[in-house]
Homo-oligomer: A and B are copies of this chain.
Amino acid sequence: MFKALADPTRRILLDELTERDGQTLFELCGRLATKHGSSSSRQAISQHLDVLEAAGLVVTRRDGRYKFHHIDTDPLRPIVARWLGDEPGG
């Protein structure tokens, strides 16, 4: 799961899904190319999304020929509390 966060492109994908949840692959491709100047191909982004889904950070929902990607931040919460000692307030 930590490895899923290690890649900058994947973090940008999470940023995009945070800003606008439920985007399709092609939408994310366009967003990354336009807003972030990323030159990643469709396959590259698709594979990144696979990694994020395998890590549980992204859940997908199919509707016809579209596949919508939704962010799931639940796995993110305990990963840092491991070393912060479960102090929620900081």
Contact = CB atoms under 8 A, between A and B. Distances in A.
Contacts of A2: 2, 5-6, 11
Oligomeric state, in number of copies? 2
A3 interface: yes
A11 B78 CA distance: 14
Contacts of A85: 18
Contacts of A80: 76-77, 79-80
Interface in A40-90: 71, 73, 76-77, 79-80, 82-85, 88-90
Interface of A: 2-3, 5-6, 11, 14-15, 18, 71, 73, 76-77, 79-80, 82-85, 88-90
